[in-house]
Amino acid sequence: MFGTITVTKAAIPVLRQQRKGHLINLSSVGGRLGAPGRAAYSTAKWGVEGFSEVLAKEMALVGVRVTIIEPGGFRTDFAGGSTVLHDGRPEYDAVVGTAARQQREYNGRQPGDPTRAAHAILQISQLDDPPLRLALGTDAVKAIRTASETRQAELDAWEALSVSTDFDASELPQLVPTGRPI
């Protein structure tokens, strides 16, 4: 996350001066849903997502576009020897241990092809109106859709309580033109 922010801040003056450009930030499906056993990783990716979403609104004012790339599982060494996975404490085995074992078993069987991902990224880099977010891979699309539906259902289920926290306009003091309450 801090690398993304630092490099972006270095590029902004050039992009702002030329009043065009496209920042493409690499996140992960883990930037849209919390991955058990990967709190630090998910936290960093959520940070990239939030930073990039705000950045997109700000940079649009000077003609610069921002896209967040959200890959799922790709056949790289991410789940292989470059990552040391521990099953964790016994009391967390049902979640953390299971996630670690699943990642080990997933290695080499991920649906994502890195070459095709690179081509997709190059394709959106050429667009005048690219997406803010681009999920890559069937597993990413499925996981993000499920998480979005779960969030929407929760929002809907708790909407009455959520909106009950607003001021009741009928209970607010009425103001006279002088600004003093009556």
Q: Which residues are catalytic?
A: 27, 41, 45
Q: Residue 72: is it exposed, middle or buried by C-beta count within 10 angstroms (0-12/13-18/19+)?
A: buried
**Kind of pairing, strands 21-26 and 64-71?**
parallel
Give SS3 for 168: coil
In which element (H, E) is residue 68 found? strand 64-71
Would you say 104 and 142 are in contact if contact means Cβ atoms under 8 Å apart?
no
Give SS3 for 43: helix
